[in-house]
Structure 1
Amino acid sequence: MVSTIRWESGEDGVVLLTLDHPGRSANVMNDEFARSLAETVDRLEAERDRITGVIVTSAKKTFFAGGDLESLVRLTPDDAERTFTGTRALKRSVRRLETLGRPVVAAIGGSALGGGLEIALGCHHRIAVDDPTIEIGFPEVTLGLLPGCGGVVRTVRLLGVSDALVNWLVRGQRRRPQDALEHGLIDELAADGPAMVDAARAWIAANPDAAQRYDRKGYRIPGGTPASPGLAAQLPAMAAVLRKQLKGAPYPAPRDIVAAAVEGAQVDLDAAFTIEGRYFTGLATGRIAKNMIGALFFDVQAAGSRDIGDDLPPLRKVAVVGAGMMGAAIAYVCARAGLDVVLKDVTLEGARRGAEYARSRSAAAFSRIRPTAELADLAGADLVIEAVFEDPALKQKVYAEIEQVAPDALIASNTSTLPITLLAEGVSRPEEFVGLHFFSPVDRMPLIEVIRGKRTGDATLRRALGVARRLRKTPIVVNDSRGFFTSRVIGTFTNEGVAMLAEGIPAATIEQASSQAGYPAPVLALMDELTLTLPRRIRQETAAAVVAAGGDWTPHAADAVIDRMIDEFGRVGRSGGAGFYEYRDGRRARLWPGLRDAFGGTNSGVPFEDLKERMLFIEAIESVRCLDEGVLTSAADANVGSILGIGYPAWTGGVLRYVEQYEGGRPGFVARARELAARYGDRFTPPESLLLPGRTSWR
């Protein structure tokens, strides 16, 4: 049988246990590891009299990668008993390690996330290499899970309920070693790997009777148990904060983490492990974790691992044309990635203002940005990203100027809606023209939409994907269409929310429905952030293009609302200080009371579930159409793009996974879509492709 743990004994009696799963790039918590750990602990107990201490380290780049997601994503409720039994066995092995009666040190030379940190917490002392690329934390909640191998229980007992929940568990923070030291789960830092192991041996020699703090007589949980008056007084406020964060959305993991922490703090250690295991099992065998793991791990992995070859030309100098909000932010992320950047605007003053965006974030990045108003300064750029006003004629004029001074550069447009094929009419080499659609705020949003025009070449697409990789962005690749994928689909969401207002549904109810559906921003608040003039301009351009092509344009129920907001009330959104919301000192204050008089607000006859599902369904249906039309070429890109780019609720697993996981599967989705179409309009009519009998999955 394969062993995932190597054993080395030293003359000083210290056993070095090296986690090293053969044939894998990372150590994971699977059946082979569970068996190896149990066998290793058996041997440690049998040879205890000859052992002075134990060091647990890793041969991989990371310390330990956590749970085996390939196995976790396949779990169903039928696997509940097996899952609970398996996690209990793992916890028993870690518990035997920490009660061995010998000092045990975790030597963390790489990232320790999830299960890796849980193993480290089962040691008496934790030393990490002081490397800023190392991450330490419990990201399970971001995949719909909780730490199931003692992570909740041990963190609570080491730090206290409040500290454990706020700083480690509920939000899934990933901390650098120095930060983890300050927050109490790392005990010591070392300069490098050899120094780390030397420090571990020194600690063992100095602490022959080491034991976990919570195993020592008289130990009390920091901050007390939930029965303590001080903590009891804090719990309602903590619960209120959690409710505010979740906004009624169906994310059970944060709630279960809090429950496991609070309940576990009131019982003995073994009972606490059992409580944690039950909550973990419920999440791991449930649908939401399966959806989130599928989208946020496997689909993201698929999107980011495209083969771009090893023959790409070097990328050293980038020019960004247009120093507005988007251009300035794009320049910053390019400089942050170590590239030399020229940021050009019409005036030098404008370019300098754009460069200031980088100064406030990173002095090193700011030093790599050269603001300019001179076209000649673009010479020698390997990549030029255009980020000027959304006007085809203006953009094409800019491309002609770029080609004069940077004839060999890859030219990319950051347009969010204009067809790349149309814009490519302004360049002499359309095969070397591509769309690179960044999302705001650029430095925080992980997605980039790579748009392939009709004449964009394969080599150009690979270069664009290479840019995404250099900027550490997750790319999705879409074919050309007005609005592409993300802008086209998010437009159906915002239109649906505004159409509800036209139906007389109270604005507060609309906002609550979008929040409880799981959207990160309520729909009317999002409209204000986008600025109401933007969707109107996009609508007018699209309508003109449809009519010019000989088609008929059908207005949406949302159009009249937006037009009245702009033309009658002068409310254009947050940028204008007034939109669907009122603003004070630039901050959103409350929904505009005038909405009720302007559009009604007494329609309480629409089921609340319909309001939520109208937004979820309309985006899913439009995404299916994008797939049918060839705008999208993979389900992974659809799911990743919808969650990371336009805020589709992560609990669904993405727009296409939502269709498949809806109650009753695809037939259930089709039946519900027909119900919505009958009640609210033909836009909910399911695409014909969903009715094909032989097509059961996009994956």
Structure 2
Amino acid sequence: MSSAETWRSLLASENRSPDEVVTHARVRDVELPLGAGRAALITLDNGHDHTRPSTFGPRGLLALNDALDQVAERDDIVAVAVTGKPFVFAVGADLKGVAALENRDEARLIGRLGHEVFRRLGELKVPSFAYYNGAAMGGGVEIGLHCTYRTVSAGVPAFALPEAFLGLVPGWGGTYLLPNLIGAERALKVIIDNPLAQNRMLKGRQAYELGIADAIFDSADFLEESLTWTARVLTGALAVRRPEPDKGKGWDDAVAMARWNLDGRLHGAAPSFVRALDLVAAAKDRTRDEGFAAEDEALADLIMSDELRAGLYAFDLTQKRAKRPAGAPDKALARPVTKVGVVGAGLMASQLALLFARRLEVPVVLTDLDRERLDKGVGSAHGEIGKLLAKGRISADQANRLTSLITGSLTKDAFADADFVIEAVFEEMSVKRKVFAEVEEHVSADCVLATNTSSLPVGEMAAGLRHPERVVGFHFFNPVAVLPLLEIVRGGRTDDATLATAFAVGKRLKKSCVLVKDAPAFVANRVLLRLLAEIVQTVDEGTPIEVAERAAAPLGLPMPPFVLMGLVGPAIALHVNQTLHGAFPERFPLSDNLARMVAAGKTGVYRPDFTLDPEVVEIFSGGTAPSTEEQVLARALDALAEEIGIMLDEGVVAAAQDIDLCMLLGAGWPFHLGGITPYLDRSGVAEKVTGARFLEPGVASLP
């Protein structure tokens, strides 16, 4: 019995996939130009508006199979083409349905069904064409890989194989067909590198330049141009030539480099990436049937894994909860923002100025204490605009407009008509209070005053102002243009209109906003500093730095703890640690060794060649109670569980999901772990430390 027949039987006998939004495959005939003949055009459409992308569950795959039955035996057509509804080609598997598969046999069966249906496009009596007219991800990309030829619209906003990011592999032909089409090195950029880079997406032109598509056309007349191109191919007026992929040393070198990168980034903590890489490595010598069978087995294993549940949980958080922030006030209360002020002209301030100008498209004025610093800050923002222009990310007109929007002033009366002023000055309470007092003398009574503090109390900063209700925390993460998290902090007297304005601005900045209570270090920094404090303490006690560094490897974090300290800066880490020690001395002990390291002017524990700095090693020497890697990790996880439990009891955020969202988007916590709380739940640490799980059983893990 074929996979299609097996699924029809399953769907007929049980109430399977009741929530599947079925993607239909509608067939119509089109007369090709240039006298090329008649083609059958299959349009993928789930019957919803364009905001609901087409996906494939069992019913959708069977619908496509039925459409292929209609065209397979016809003798009056010269080609079969597949395209999508407006704005969307197809975005792959129905992930909700995948997570609901009940056992390994069913997981393998969904892999086989996808292969069985999609491969028919490459086995028809006539050539097949994929017209990537809109967003194409996962199985949506793979449908086209099975076709004989492919075109892509220049307007495609997202083109990707994101499966490894979620805990799967491109299992409907992607790991076999793509490297055999464009070579291992290019294929691994799509299958491994982009998912590793927080699920980076390709644009339509990039897909064409990689060789995935054979032709690219403007979106306005994409279908017409694709049909004409098809006619030229069929009549012989155009020959499609593709370079043969290097199946020798180049293939092996690309795989070796990707494996080295994975080992360094994830330390084996994300099985899906390793499995996808292994499949690409073997695709060089396998037949198509062997490659597809191997993908089926990989899907069977990974679909039933905790990693997939964790990845889907994380994906759901970033796609849904991040867009509907818990506790945010009525957006109707938000005030318009037509001008922004930035106090300070350092690196962070210039990044903020550019972000506000690009996203809000309003004038932004920076202030600082002297002309030299002010000119440097404004010049830095203008320089970044020049880089965007050079990379082709903005036009010359856009560059000129942005440059004109960002200006500087030595006096704060330039804020008189501003609706939103954010400070980005030295992380010292007295300095920030002085700044806000000065700004208040010049702005209107309802101008929002925002602080980018990473740890200081917002309420204390507002104390003494005539209008403390308009002060709000607006904590970005560095680099500002890259990291999507924005912690919005409600001070004790912050009113709803101010908060609503902050959320509206955050949304316009294209940030994922989380409402946070005015508590020391807020969320992401508090969790990270508790982890770092515990690990530093083990080094103070005599654990070698390299042992403590390796201990965190199973977490698969973007960088080890001491590398992170070097990026943030030991002085900043010490400052935030001091803030947290002042609030919670029993849980955030001060490290005298860290203080001595900062006093010595050390910028990290490593030298430029990434060997340990012997002077730093000497500073941390003297401890007499070293721990093993296992002991360090256990202590760190216990500390994290304790701190998160306390934060939830304190109401720092609305729910554990918000802590996970902050760690995923602000601290680079790996998607394959689903966030910190699912990891602590699955490992049993949460119940051991707090007496209960952070999430309901079955959320982000197998029940």
Q: Which bracket does the TM-score occupy, shorter chain normalised?
A: 0.7 to 0.9
- Residue number in structure 1 paired with 2:313: 294
Cα pair distance change 1:134/1:345, threshold 3 Å: same
Check if 1:40 corresponds to 2:67.
Answer: yes
Corresponding residue to 1:515 among 549, 553, 566: 553
Provide structure 2 residue ranges, at least 5 long, that are not aligned to the other structure: 1-20, 33-37, 387-398
1:429 aligned residue: 467
Which residue of the partner structure matches residue 607 of structure 2? Answer: 582
Show the counterpart of 1:670: 687
Pick closer, same or farther for the CA change 1:230–1:447 going to 2, 3 Å: closer
Higher relative contact order (CA 8 A, sep 6+): 2
Deviating more after overlay: 170-179 vs 261-270: 170-179
Q: CA deviation at 1:594?
A: 3.2
Please report how far the alpha carbon of residue 165 of structure 1 lies from its aligned counterpart in structure 2 after TM superposition: 1.6
> In the aligned structure 2, how far is the partner of 1:470 from the partner of 1:311?
16
Kindly report which structure 2 residues correspond to 1:297-446, keeping only aligned pairs within 5 A, or say none: 297-306=316-325, 309=331, 312-337=334-359, 338-363=361-386, 364=399, 365-407=402-444, 408-446=446-484
Structure 2 match to 1:112: 136
Match of 1:405, SS state, is coil
Deviation at 1:196, TM superposition (A): 1.3
Query: Does structure 1 residue 138 correspond to structure 2 residue 161?
Result: yes
Distance 1:235 1:323, change over 3 A: same
Find the partner of 2:112 among 85, 88, 94: 88
1:43 aligns to what SS in structure 2? helix
Query: Is the alpha carbon distance of 1:73 and 1:437 closer, same or farther for their aligned partners in structure 2, counting shifts above 3 Å?
Result: farther
Letter of the structure 2 residue corresponding to residue 620 of structure 1 = A
**TM-score of the two chains, using structure 2 as the length reference:** 0.85
Aligned length: 648
Q: Which residues in structure 2 correspond to 1:2-401 (within 5 Å)?
A: 4-12=24-32, 13-23=38-48, 25-46=52-73, 48-75=74-101, 78-131=102-155, 134-172=157-195, 173-193=200-220, 195-208=221-234, 222-224=245-247, 228=248, 231-232=251-252, 235-246=255-266, 248-306=267-325, 309=331, 312-337=334-359, 338-363=361-386, 364=399, 365-401=402-438
Per the TM alignment, residue 605 of structure 1 is displaced from its structure 2 partner at its CA by 6.2
For residue 482 of structure 1, what is the aligned residue in structure 2?
520
> How far did residue 238 of structure 1 move?
4.5
Structure-1-length-normalised TM-score: 0.86
Asked if 1:560 corresponds to 2:569, the answer is: no
SS in 2 for 1:448: strand
SS at match of 2:130: strand
Identical-residue share of aligned pairs (%): 29
Q: Does 1:628 align with 2:649?
A: yes
Distance 1:150 1:460, change over 3 A: same
Alpha-carbon displacement from aligned partner over 1:384-425 (angstroms, at most 9, x marks no partner): 111111222222222222223221322111111111111121
Alpha-carbon distance in structure 2 between the residues aligned to 1:357 and 1:541: 31
Once the two structures are TM-superposed, the CA of residue 235 in structure 1 deviates from its matched residue by: 4.7
Separation of aligned partners in 1, 2:632 and 2:165:
26
Verify the 8 A CA contact 1:103 1:204 in the aligned structure 2: no
> Structure 1 residues 493, 649: CA separation in 2 closer, same or farther (over 3 Å shift)?
farther
In structure 2, C-alpha distance between the alignment counterparts of 1:696 and 1:258, rounded to whole Å: 32
Unaligned runs of 5+ in 1: 547-552, 574-578, 672-685
- Distance in 1 separating the partners of 2:640 and 2:698: 18
Tell me if structure 2 keeps the 8 A contact 1:64–1:112.
yes
**How far apart are the structure 1 equivalents of 2:623 and 2:290?**
52
**Contact in 2 for aligned 1:52/1:204 (Cα 8 Å):** no
Matches of residues 601-680 of structure 1 in structure 2 within 5 Å? 606-662=627-683, 665=684, 669-671=686-688
CA separation of 1:501 and 1:290: change in aligned 2, threshold 3 A = same
> 1:11 & 1:89 partners in 2: Cα distance?
31
Match of 1:531 in 2: 569
1:676 alignment partner in structure 2: none
Provide the residue aligned with 2:396 in structure 1. Answer: none
- Kept in 2, the 8 Å contact 1:501–1:601? The answer is no
Aligned partners of 2:633 and 2:26: how far apart in 1? 53
CA distance in 2, matches of 1:488, 1:229: 47
- Look up the SS of the partner of 1:591 in the other structure: coil
Q: Which amino acid aligns with 1:290?
A: R
8 Å CA contact 1:55–1:107 kept in 2: the answer is yes
Change (3 A) 1:558 1:508: farther
Q: 1:625 to 1:591 in 2, by over 3 A?
A: same
Give CA deviations for 1:444-498 in whole Å, capped at 9, x if unaligned: 1111111111222223222211111111111111111121122222111111121
Question: Which residue identity is paired with 2:343?
Answer: V
Q: Distance in 1 between matches of 2:163 and 2:374?
A: 42
Q: Residue 596 of structure 2 aligns to which amino acid in structure 1?
A: R
**In 2: Cα distance, 1:311 partner to 1:544 partner:** 36
Displacement of 1:166 after TM fit? 3.6
Match of 1:678 in 2: none
Deviation at 1:602, TM superposition (A): 9.0
Amino acid at match of 2:59: E
